[in-house]
Structure 1
Amino acid sequence: MPDLDAEDQKLVTLARSARARTEAAEGAAVRDTDGRTYAAATVDQPSFQLTALQAAVAAALSSGAEGVEAAVVVTADALVKESSVHAVRDLAKDAPIIRTGPDGAVQEVLR
């Protein structure tokens, strides 16, 4: 897997922190087109559920982001959930979605 640049490595750190802080199944982070970052963890409530990446994209949108440059998902799962991919692709057709394991090692980059 490719080495990440400093900005993408920052997303990994933020996503891992969000996951660890809440002991959630996933953590995620996105960088918007202005360079601002947003992190979130899985939301699993009786009335609604969000993947970590959906929650991070929602945080970016609710803060006025108009697009996404890159996204990271930290998960033990072997695949990024389809709903997570769609959340990013709604804003950016070509933004990389980086999947890492809980240790932060890059497992896959979706383009």
Structure 2
Amino acid sequence: MSVAGIGGLFFRSRDPEARAEWYREHLGIDAGSESIWQQQEGPTIFAPFPADSDYFSADQPFMLNLRVTDLDALVLSLEAADIVVERREEWDAAGFGRFARLHDPEGLPIELWE
């Protein structure tokens, strides 16, 4: 007997409806308590980080990593909506993927992984 995967991600929000709409509009995620997201894209990484890690904002307890297709097009779409997206060459790893980062309306760090 073992855990088969992550069954959900639940987090508090000052304005759950507005935040869910932001995820729907900009990332295509149907977010909300009635939403079920079926995914078959590949493995999920589950990794604790040191408390003093600078990999993501120190004021946030976690970072959301989302697998995406066509990272370049998604970044252009986000930037067109005036959402700041950060890319660094050192984040990209041959054979592992390409990455970009942004923050949701309440400051949660999001990493996009292609």
Task: Give the structure-2-normalised TM-score.
Answer: 0.26
Higher helix share: 1
